[in-house]
Amino acid sequence: MRVLKVFDIFMSFDILVSLSYFVMSPAERCSWDIYNEGSQQLLGYGLYITGVFSLFLSALVVAALVKSSLTEERSFLGLRTVCAAGLVRSWVFGFLFSGASAISGRWLFNPDICPIFGFFKQFASVYQIEAVTHLCIERYVHAKYVKNGWEMTKYHYVLFNFLCWTFSFVYSLLPFIIGGTYALDFTCASCALDLVLPTNYGKYLMAILLFFQSVKPVLFMGYMLYHAIAIEQKCFDKEEHRTQLLFTQTTVKLTLAAVACWTPVFLATAWAVVPQLWGAPAAQPPRALALAAAFGSELNPGAIALTILCSNEQVRQATRGLFGKPAHLKDD
């Protein structure tokens, strides 16, 4: 009987140890082992540099658009939304948390808030992607309306914004419903969507969700811009619609800049996720790819804002107006 009691005690202890992994906070365990001490420091300081760069440029463009009269032209509302989304992403859920934690090599904050932080970070990131997507959709709808002699109303732009909020909320909430969660990311110092997929059918649902969050919007961007440009080349007068033609060029350039920054994130995600669909464990992305993904994600808002400043004369004029220089907002 004593032997059986001792055996029961050891079995109970073994079960508790096994269960402790699952009840442990997501911020107290990390599924990735990519960085050494030197690269962790590089990551932390790099996140601060790219984060401050993105924060400054996004704030500059948002301030210029808010202060000027450009947003009276409704198309510029989409630019303001894109840059404002990047500003929130950088300031609230970006380098201030992830940079400090990366330098320390661990999540510095209350472990219990990791899933909550991950949820809102995912929300802000998806919102930015959807804002760029709907800016491209707006270009196509605008071109179609001009071609048919119709007029776009403010309700179109209210609808675009509503859809951005809706998709962001749904895509961020769905992981909780289909068996996923938010946990430490590749850096082991910030929280994001957990890329270690469930072992049951939930892994396929998570893969589909990741596809709709990343690949589907890019396909939509390309499709809408292609058809918008085709209509503009065929039906728009180069002098009468000069401002709108230039605005479409700005949209194309900022979309390319955004996709360039998102590409390392997509590749690192695919590297970790795809093997799991065939029953293999999550693969560790190469350190260089993980670094590129982290920097690309943080640099993305700044790259978009810089592209807008470089490609749109009206926004540059509005930016000069912030510093007391005359802002001649002409259609050129």
pLDDT-derived band at 325 (thresholds 50, 70, 90) equals low
State how far the Cα of 253 lies from the Cα of 251, in Å rounded to an integer. Answer: 5
Tell me what percent of the residues of the chain surpass a pLDDT of 70. Answer: 89
Q: What is the CATH number of the domain that holds 47?
A: 1.20.1070.10
State how far the Cα of 109 lies from the Cα of 111, in Å rounded to an integer. Answer: 6
Buried b (16+ CB within 10 A) or exposed e, 2-21: eeeeeeeeeeeeeeeeeeee
Structure confidence at residue 44 (pLDDT): 87
Nearest to 196 by CA among 122, 143, 272: 272
Nearest to 79 by CA among 55, 59, 61, 60: 61
The amino acid occupying position 43 is: L
Between 332 and 281, whose confidence is greater? Answer: 281
80: in domain? yes
293: in domain? yes
pLDDT in tens, 28-47: 568 888 888 778 888 888 88
219: in domain? yes
Residue with tokens 């951005």: 164
pLDDT in tens, 144-189: 998 888 888 888 889 999 999 999 999 999 999 988 899 988 888 8
144: in domain? yes
Q: Which domain range does residue 175 map to? A: 37-322
13: in domain? no
DSSP string, 61-107: HHHHHHHSSGGGSTHHHHHHHHHHHHHHHHHTTSHHHHHHHHHHTS-
State how far the Cα of 167 lies from the Cα of 149, in Å rounded to an integer. Answer: 31
188: in domain? yes
State how far the Cα of 300 lies from the Cα of 136, in Å rounded to an integer. Answer: 17
Between 41 and 331, whose confidence is greater? Answer: 41
31: in domain? no
24 contact partners, CB below 8 Å, separation of at least 6: none
185: in domain? yes
Structure confidence at residue 19 (pLDDT): 31
State how far the Cα of 28 lies from the Cα of 245, in Å rounded to an integer. Answer: 52
- Domain count for the chain, please give it: 1
Structure confidence at residue 21 (pLDDT): 36
Q: Hey, how many other C-beta atoms are within 10 angstroms of the C-beta on 82?
A: 31
